[in-house]
Amino acid sequence: MKCFQVEGAGKAAVIADAASGKGLRAARDLVACGAKVMMCDVNGNALAR
């Protein structure tokens, strides 16, 4: 995993379609870089996992 050019600490992001695939990967990567992330998806049960 490679952090983005701008470190995530102190940053926030909203990721749509975050229950799986690229959205989930992006959310995990941003959290790993220190960002606060809000995830949303029409499949709320998948987000609860």
Note the pLDDT tens digit of each residue in 2-38.
665 656 667 899 999 999 999 999 999 888 888 899 9
Give me the pLDDT at residue 22, please.
Answer: 93
Give me the pLDDT at residue 6, please.
Answer: 59
> What are the DSSP calls for 19-48, one per residue?
SSHHHHHHHHHHHHTT-EEEEE-S-HHHHT
Q: Are strands 36-40 and 12-16 parallel, antiparallel or unpaired?
A: parallel
Predicted structure pTM score: 0.75
